[in-house]
């Protein structure tokens, strides 16, 4: 009971950051028996704040989506417009299912409902609770990104890729959701944008020790991606490259090879090594690790793009250098702009 009450306290702190107050409507979305303790904790926390809370629990047999899915875009809400309409009536939706990249999520956001996805283990939620000043640091990074016309990533392993910016917005992820229509994820702590659909060119080398999601594995042999006009046109290497090549080909979808978002991690308490120890969740900790560069392929609907492929690959790259308009932001995996640096660094 003590552990549960401690979790309720943590959820209450989160709801306060997410601007929940007396009279607000908080919905919690779950499926089957997944994360029912999370649902109970958020309901209790919302009640403490005087919010009107309700829990929409979908049957476990509904397919699509979820933490363990290798396919994005299809969720347990697909084909259930009544449930979507009910969720649109809330001010804040706590998403325990993981709706990202789905049409249903975009529809709910468009209604003005803010969404917070929560699918990581409690110890990760606690360790990666938004730190003091992280929002201000991320906002400063967003401003730098918005003003830039190019973003370039290099690495000692051979990565040299350039993104032409301006077609898509720069998006912050703070780890809480306080603005109408905003999606965020607890935990988080990074920012991203996308290159023009035909404006990404170069080479990305996924090096040993980098992580490929949704495989949830550390790469052991280098994977070399050749990118031309915003698309992966070649995948070379040994076993890891073979697996990635076959995985992407299995979707039989040309859009699977489109380049999606690019950004860097800002959370000083995130651990890149978390994948090696009792991995659960979707790996947000590895994505938000301080100074990593998050490279992505596939859907870009969250940026306002038209690529809605079900094939999504995220790769946190370590030890890279990232430049905006040829000015360094991250150098060899360390953030060098003073306004972006964590206080503990």
- Cβ neighbours of residue 168 closer than 8 Å, sequence gap 6 or more: 193, 194, 195, 196, 300, 303, 304, 305
What distance in Å separates the CA atoms of residue 204 and residue 218, rounded to the nearest whole number?
Answer: 16
* pLDDT tens readout for residues 83-95: 999 999 999 999 9
CATH number of 2-119: 3.40.50.2300
User: Can you say how many angstroms the Cα of residue 84 is from the centroid of all Cα atoms in its chain?
Assistant: 22
Distance in angstroms (rounded) separating the CA atoms of residues 226 and 85: 43
Q: pLDDT tens digit string along 117-130?
A: 999 999 999 999 99
Determine the pLDDT at residue 75.
85
**Mean of the pLDDT values across residues 151-167?**
98
Q: Which residue has the higher pLDDT, 301 or 138?
A: 138
DSSP 323: E
Q: What is the CA radius of gyration of the chain?
A: 19
Q: Taking a C-beta distance cutoff of 8 angstroms, is the pair 332, 321 a contact?
A: yes
Average pLDDT over residues 191-210: 97
pTM: 0.92
**Chain mean pLDDT for the chain:** 93
Predicted confidence (pLDDT) at residue 246 exceeds the cutoff of 60: yes
State how far the Cα of 264 lies from the Cα of 275, in Å rounded to an integer: 18
- Give which of 95, 92, 55, 62 is closest to 79, Cα–Cα: 62
Q: Does residue 105 surpass a pLDDT of 90?
A: yes
Q: What is the mean pLDDT of residues 211-215?
A: 93
pLDDT tens per residue, range 313-341: 999 999 999 999 999 999 999 999 999 99
- When pLDDT is averaged across residues 206-213 and rounded to a whole number, the result is 96
| Cβ-contact 343, 133 below 8 angstroms | yes
Of the candidates 274, 252, 263, 267, which has an alpha carbon nearest to the alpha carbon of residue 315? Answer: 263
C-beta atoms surrounding 343 within 10 Å = 10
309 has a pLDDT exceeding 70: yes
- The domain segmentation of the chain, as residue ranges, is 2-119, 134-340
Q: What is the DSSP letter of 130?
A: P
- Residue 274: its pLDDT value, please? 73
Supply φ then ψ for residue 341, to 5 degrees. Answer: -75, 140
Residue 67, pLDDT above cutoff 70: no
Here the tokens at position 275 are: 């994948």
The Cα 5–Cα 153 span in angstroms is 44
pLDDT in tens, 31-58: 999 999 999 999 999 999 999 999 999 9
Which pLDDT band holds residue 170 (cuts at 50, 70, 90)? very high
Q: Which helix (H) or strand (E) holds 46?
A: helix 36-48
pLDDT of residue 276: 59
Q: 311 pLDDT band (50/70/90 cuts)?
A: very high
Q: How do strand 313-317 and strand 217-218 relate by DSSP bridges?
A: unpaired
Whether residue 31 contacts residue 59, with contact meaning beta carbons closer than 8 Å, is answered with yes
């Amino acid at each position: 009971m003590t552990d549960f009450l401690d979790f309720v306290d943590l959820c209450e702190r989160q709801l306060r950051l997410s601007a929940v107050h007396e009279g607000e409507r908080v919905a919690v979305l779950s499926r089957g028996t997944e994360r029912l303790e999370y649902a109970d904790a958020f309901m209790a926390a919302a009640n403490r704040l005087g919010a009107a809370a309700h829990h929409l629990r979908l049957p476990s047999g509904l397919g699509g989506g979820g933490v363990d899915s290798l396919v994005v875009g299809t969720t347990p809400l697909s084909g259930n417009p009544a449930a979507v309409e009910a969720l649109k009536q809330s001010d804040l939706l706590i998403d325990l299912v993981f709706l990202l990249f789905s049409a249903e999520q975009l529809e709910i956001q468009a209604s003005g409902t803010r969404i917070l996805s929560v699918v990581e283990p409690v110890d990760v939620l606690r360790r990666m609770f938004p730190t003091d000043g992280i929002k201000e640091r991320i906002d400063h990074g967003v401003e730098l990104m918005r003003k830039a016309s190019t973003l370039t990533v290099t690495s000692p392993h051979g990565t040299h890729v350039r993104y032409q910016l301006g077609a898509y917005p720069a998006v912050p992820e703070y780890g809480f959701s306080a603005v109408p229509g905003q999606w965020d994820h607890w935990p988080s702590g990074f920012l991203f944008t996308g290159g023009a659909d035909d404006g990404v060119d170069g080479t990305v080398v996924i090096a040993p020790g980098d992580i490929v999601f949704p495989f949830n594995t550390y790469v052991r042999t280098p994977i070399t991606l050749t990118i031309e006009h915003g698309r992966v046109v070649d995948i070379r290497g040994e076993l890891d490259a073979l697996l990635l090549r076959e995985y992407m080909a299995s979707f039989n979808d040309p859009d699977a090879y489109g380049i999606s978002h690019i950004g860097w991690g800002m959370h000083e308490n995130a651990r890149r090594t978390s994948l090696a120890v009792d991995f659960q969740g979707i790996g947000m900790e590895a994505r938000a690790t301080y100074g990593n560069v998050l490279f992505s392929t596939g859907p870009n609907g969250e940026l306002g793009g038209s690529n809605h492929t079900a094939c999504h690959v995220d790769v946190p790259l370590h030890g890279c250098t990232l430049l905006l308009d040829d000015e360094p932001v991250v150098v060899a995996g360390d953030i060098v702009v003073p306004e972006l640096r964590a206080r503990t660094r």
